[in-house]
Copies of this chain bind each other. A is one copy, B any other.
């Protein structure tokens, strides 16, 4: 037997939930997905999932599943990819082969609801060895627009690598570490593709798009252009190269659950040069393809390696 295959089998790592109460529940309703353990056969529907890609926009996550189907040679002849969560408008979910694509809306609370239910879904479906990647958009600092940032550490608005949340009225601080090996693999993938520039750097995760990211164009602004530039310069000095709104809770929840996780965001503008996304929709649309091209290529490569390992094991 091929040692790769041996490894594949013995290192089989389940998706962890950490909640003793779940065992005592007769059924588990994943309300915001409109799915549940007593209404759906989750192991049959999702048991083969190895890659989960998440992103804010439902349209982008539908486009991603169409793209990855092509990459993996798994196109539906009718090219129809039904929304698995069609019964709700909270999130959209698509699946092709081992790849699940799920939208999460904007901001930490929105992605956190989705991740709680996604982790339970993967757990109920007995999934193992799952890799999860957030593909998103962001504002860059000191980077050419279109550059991809693969997140090293997700930091808060004071540039510290932590996620604070309130549980039973008390502050709890969680780590925002991501998988360094996965980040490195994605960077190598981008270098091989050679279509756009990618860097590994820190990502600042904020609670607000306007005042929270030192923008001058919100409904409220009580600081100057100089204050803004000072703040962004401090962020840059601390290693931050882009700003978005979901990575900290994503990193923290994936780490707790044992999922290999990465954050891959394209920068739509350089925040030191402006605030508004006034580029043409076509240009912005093209830039938004980049994370999906990179992650699509990565998943294709990984899938081929898994197939090769399984193939040689079967010989």
Contact = CB atoms under 8 A, between A and B. Distances in A.
Contacts of A209: 109, 112-113, 116
A117 B208 CA distance: 12
Contacts of A167: 211-212, 214, 222-223
Give the contact-size bracket for chain A: 35 or more
A136 B163 CA distance: 28
Interface in A94-117: 105-110, 112-113, 115-117
B219 A253 contact: yes
B119 A207 contact: no
B106 A220 contact: no
B116 A18 contact: no
A193 interface: no
B219 A120 contact: yes
Interface string A149-181: 000000011110000011111000000000000
Contact of A29 (B57, B105, B208, B276): B276
Chain B CB within 10 Å — which of A56, A113, A156, A234 has the most? A113
Contact of A219 (B18, B107, B212): B18
Contact of A220 (B87, B107, B256): B256
B109 A90 contact: no
A134 interface: no
Contacts of A166: 156-158, 206-208, 212
A291 interface: no
B281 A115 contact: no
A78 interface: no
29 contacts: A18-B222, A19-B216, A25-B217, A27-B278, A28-B217, A31-B276, A31-B277, A57-B89, A57-B90, A58-B89, A59-B89, A105-B105, A106-B110, A109-B109, A109-B206, A112-B207, A112-B208, A112-B210, A115-B219, A116-B209, A116-B218, A119-B219, A120-B218, A158-B166, A165-B208, A167-B214, A168-B231, A169-B234, A219-B257
Interface of A: 17-22, 25, 27-29, 31, 36, 56-59, 87, 89-90, 105-110, 112-113, 115-117, 119-120, 123, 156-159, 165-169, 206-212, 214, 216-223, 225, 227-228, 231, 234, 245, 253, 256-257, 276-278, 281
